[in-house]
Structure 1
Amino acid sequence: MTPSSQVMSEAIMTEKKFTLEFIVEQDKILLREFLHEKGISKRTLTAVKYEGGLLLVNGSEQTVRHMLKEGDSVTVQFPQEEPSAGLVPETGNLAIVYEDEAILIIDKPPGQGTIPSRDQPNGTVANFVAGKFEAEHVPSTVHILTRLDTDTSGLVCLAKNRHIHHLLSEQMQKIGFERSYIAFVEGYVKKDAFTIEQPIGRKDGSIIERTVRQDGQYARTDVQVLGRFERDGVQLTSVSLKLHTGRTHQIRVHLQWLGHPLAGDDLYGGSRGLLGRQALHCACIGFRHPLTNELMTFMSELPADLKQLKTGSGQSK
């Protein structure tokens, strides 16, 4: 989908429905095929059909077997989504970096969970977003694209509709969705730039920890050294990390495997002598907007504790 095609991919937010409009640019194409070309999945079409949505051609309701012609106007009205039963809407502060009718970008502080857990059932990003959606009558549940660990700070991307979630998920699978992190690891990393390709799986006997193991899932992390320095007698390296896959704890596991665990990451071999949480920050995400195809990039500055770790350093190398 490109802006020049005049697809009219304008998302219209009413109180109850999320709606997309398109203009057909070719003759003799089934509505089902046309919608597939626009990225609307079979699962979404099933929801439209059975859960209160609507398919209109030139203002008249039609089935997916309807034959379209050039110039037809197609309207897809998505059903209202029910909030997740176990997610309690709450009012709280959200550092909103960007928001439109389709996506929401949040800058998450360290210590806040992305979704509720046994240890943190309330006060998470998901709780606060659910509260925001409820207050603003957004007809959607919470769709989180990029989940961060509680102690990892930085950018979180959310979709405001199941269709948008589907489109962005496809970008992630095709490596069209970029995620870059800044981290501080223990020791001096020797090479300036390299790639870690090591499979990751669950560690035997643990429900939380992951480890590099040959029967695990493929995982790739690109590493770029930003600087080497010493802080309070401890050698540290600041690195930029680019994810090509999204395995659980991927960065933490890969850096442990490398022999340079994250500072503060005591679960994966790091010390908390300098920092009380893992020194990891999602600094940049980039993708094409799921409706306009515009290339979008969002940045987040290092939080105060990581700035202090860097600026309070002693000897550099």
Structure 2
Amino acid sequence: MKLIFPVPPEADGALLRNFLRRCAVSTELARAVKFHGSGFWAGGQPILANRRVEAGQDIWFELPADGAGVAPQPEIPVQAVYEDAFAIVLDKPPHLAVHPTLNYPLDTLANGYAARMEARGESPVFRPVNRIDKDTSGLVLAAKNGYAAPLLARNVEKLYYAVVEGELPLGKGVIDAPIGRQAESIIGRCVTPDGKPSRTEYTIIRAEHGLSLAACVPVTGRTHQIRVHFASIGHPLAGDDLYGGSRERIGRQALHCAEQRFRVPEYEMTPEGIRITAPPLEQSRAVTVKSPLPPDLRALFGEDPLEI
């Protein structure tokens, strides 16, 4: 895949390395292009990082080839709810791991993604920007190439819906408490003075039948953050038996990634490649993707709690 960056008048005379930084080309990618790829080009001529670019030039490079990725499994469900040249958002069902681990070497979202992209002749390498637990449902944002991965990772915002035990007061709240590993546990986390700073902002939308529906924004991105934070205030997620929740009403933690907001470069597809029409660090397109509350979470209230 070729990426093309036109040099605007205000970048005339800039060193190539500085122009690439302005175009959000990471240092890691620049090194890969230099040492393992086609190098950088100004029109039809190669150009080095210490050379100056000129207004009106097209600076371009080929993205280095990806590896094979994980084993493709076309039988794994993959529902894409948004896709462009740089990003893809998948709506993951519960009970499906995002990527292979020691416990789940196959049958993951990554395996289904690899099959989908391989069938289309695109890179099968799965680059998730956010990861959600196996039993959490909802949106997973992935970068489609090495250029997009760091660009997306630094600007994504997420909204989760969580059903927690107990009836909390309606309205806004904040849980600001450090999270670290539970003693002698590989998986478990807990609120601890020795943990990393962690902040969850939430709004209680509905509270009845001994449950509360919370719209949560994890300001930080710690492992199990929403689950641990609500458990720490005595309101574990319904179904989350790892942190004290009951599975009497639902057989998994009642957590759903419902909305993601991120920005992608303005671009156009041309016969030559992908032409970035504006420097991504200065101008980009805002994207918002949503996923409805899944049936098992709606059923906890007997109706869709978001429609009341």
1:206 is aligned to 185
Contact 2:158 2:257 in 1 (8 A): yes
The reply to whether residue 261 of structure 1 matches residue 244 of structure 2 is: no
Whichever residue aligns with residue 206 of structure 1, its letter is S
2:253 is aligned to 278
How far apart are residue 24 of structure 1 and its match?
Answer: 3.3
Q: 1:313 to 1:136 in 2, by over 3 A?
A: closer
The reply to whether residue 150 of structure 1 matches residue 134 of structure 2 is: yes
Q: 1:79 to 1:248 in 2, by over 3 A?
A: same
1:34 is aligned to 19
How far apart are residue 210 of structure 1 and its match?
Answer: 0.5
The reply to whether residue 179 of structure 1 matches residue 158 of structure 2 is: yes
Alignment of 1:69-88 (within 5 A): 69-84=54-69, 87-88=70-71
Counterpart CA distance in 2 for 1:278 and 1:134 is 33
Contact 1:168 1:290 in 2 (8 A): no
Contact 2:63 2:146 in 1 (8 A): no
1:90 is aligned to 73
TM-score by length of 2: 0.89
Counterpart CA distance in 2 for 1:164 and 1:277 is 33
How far apart are residue 30 of structure 1 and its match?
Answer: 0.7
Alignment of 1:57-136 (within 5 A): 57-84=42-69, 87-91=70-74, 92-136=76-120
Counterpart CA distance in 2 for 1:194 and 1:77 is 48
How far apart are residue 68 of structure 1 and its match?
Answer: 1.1
Counterpart CA distance in 1 for 2:107 and 2:72 is 9
Counterpart CA distance in 2 for 1:135 and 1:259 is 48
Q: 1:291 to 1:90 in 2, by over 3 A?
A: farther
1:3 is aligned to none
How far apart are residue 199 of structure 1 and its match?
Answer: 0.9
TM-score by length of 1: 0.86
Whichever residue aligns with residue 247 of structure 1, its letter is R
Structure 1 window deviating more from structure 2 (296-305 vs 127-136): it is 127-136
Whichever residue aligns with residue 28 of structure 1, its letter is G
**Percent of aligned pairs sharing the same letter:** 37
2:263 is aligned to 288
Counterpart CA distance in 2 for 1:144 and 1:215 is 28
User: Could you give the per-residue CA deviations for residues 27-84 of structure 1, whole angstroms, max 9, x where no partner exists?
Assistant: 2111111001111111111000111233110221111112112111111221111134
Please give the root-mean-square deviation of Cα atoms over the aligned residues, in Å: 1.7
SS of equivalent to 2:135: coil
Q: Count how many residue pairs are aligned between Structure 1 and Structure 2.
A: 287
Counterpart CA distance in 1 for 2:83 and 2:170 is 39
Contact 2:128 2:143 in 1 (8 A): yes
1:9 is aligned to none
Q: 1:200 to 1:53 in 2, by over 3 A?
A: farther
Q: 1:128 to 1:56 in 2, by over 3 A?
A: same
Q: 1:299 aligns with which of 279, 286, 290?
A: 290
SS of equivalent to 2:293: coil
Q: 1:139 to 1:54 in 2, by over 3 A?
A: farther
1:188 is aligned to 167
Listed as ranges, the gaps of 5+ residues in structure 1 are: 1-16, 172-176
Structure 1 window deviating more from structure 2 (65-74 vs 247-256): it is 65-74
Counterpart CA distance in 2 for 1:154 and 1:82 is 27
Whichever residue aligns with residue 33 of structure 1, its letter is N
Listed as ranges, the gaps of 5+ residues in structure 2 are: 268-283
2:151 is aligned to 167
